Amino acid sequence: MAENGITEQLKQLRPERASREEIEYVHATPYVQQVEAVCKRGGGMLDLDTPVCRDTCETALLAAGGLIKAVDDVMHASDSLKHVFALIRPPGHHATSMRGMGFCIYNNIAIAAEHLKRRYGLHRILIVDWDVHHGNGTQQVFFEDPSVLYFSTHQHPHYPGTGWIDEVGRREGQGFTVNVPLPAGTGDAGYLYALNTILVPIAREFKPEFVLVSAGFDAHAADPLASMNVTSQGFGLFTDLIVELARKSSQGRVVMALEGGYNLEALAESIISVFKALLANGEGKLETGGEPTSAIERVRKRVEEITVVQREYWGL
């Protein structure tokens, strides 16, 4: 970012630790106590994919607290601060109320959404999750909650195995979970087709007061843990779309949280693309490259299936 002249254009925010009360907006006390105990004894495993070391508790509190500070600063700021990208780890979207999994300790994005509801009384929060893995933890937290619209694009089938099109929420939350499981090989054009066909009309109808993004970059063509074909520039295109949605309904307020991404060069390039899009504030549109017709056709068929399911709840 410094080499690309980006940091000098930014206001840098320092994270603050989340309180125990804030963590427990989402996570049950026994789970928080488990994490603390494992850290205290020097480390261990929460599950096969989720190691914990002595310093994990402190870092996880800073990650969750950093995202809380991000939404606070956007809510309190003048018009000059509408977008924040929280460069935090560990990621969060797999963490459920009772379990850490998939490298995730605390569910940063869910905690931030709960904070927005409790501190500011917001009633319509949109979470867009473009990580290549389904955010099962975020879905679980808000599955019965109509105040949070959870929208996820993800490779399917893939870890953690959740996120099929018929997972739409339950009870009062029915219709407020929108899953877009995409076939392996989907690239920029396929993602943009799904986002424009499903996310955009639903978000316009929902009219979010705040937009949160679980920004994982493991859908990149170079990532070793998945099989998608998104380019670094593609993530900038996704950001343009999000910024435009936020401009129309949430006073432009967008906070993004880093989730996955395991090729460090691709991760850096993709994040730079996102920052350029945020700094352009939707005015510097990029052009997407070509994509095989067969890949687009598979996405179109899946989008048609999703539209049939979601039409029961939204005017698609």
User: What is the per-residue DSSP string for 210-235?
Assistant: EEEEEE--TTBTT-TT---BB-HHHH
Antiparallel, parallel or unpaired: β 50-53 and 83-86: unpaired
End-to-end CA distance of the chain: 39
Cα–Cα distance for residue pair 257/217, rounded to 1 Å: 11
Coil vs helix vs strand at 83: strand
CA dist 157 to 172, 182, 275, Å?
28, 8, 30
Please pick, among 27, 93, 94, 115, the residue that the annotation labels catalytic. Answer: 94
- Give me the sign of the Cα torsion angle 305, 306, 307, 308: positive
94 is known as an active-site residue: yes
Cα–Cα distance for residue pair 130/156, rounded to 1 Å: 13
DSSP state of 145: -
Q: Which residue has the tokens 């943009």?
A: 192
Cα–Cα distance for residue pair 68/110, rounded to 1 Å: 10
Find, among 161, 119, 89, the residue nearest to 21 by Cα: 119
Structure token pair of residue 246 = 């936020």
Cis peptide before 157 (omega within 30 of 0): yes
Coil vs helix vs strand at 269: helix
Cα–Cα distance for residue pair 195/197, rounded to 1 Å: 6
Could you give the residue numbers annotated as active site?
94
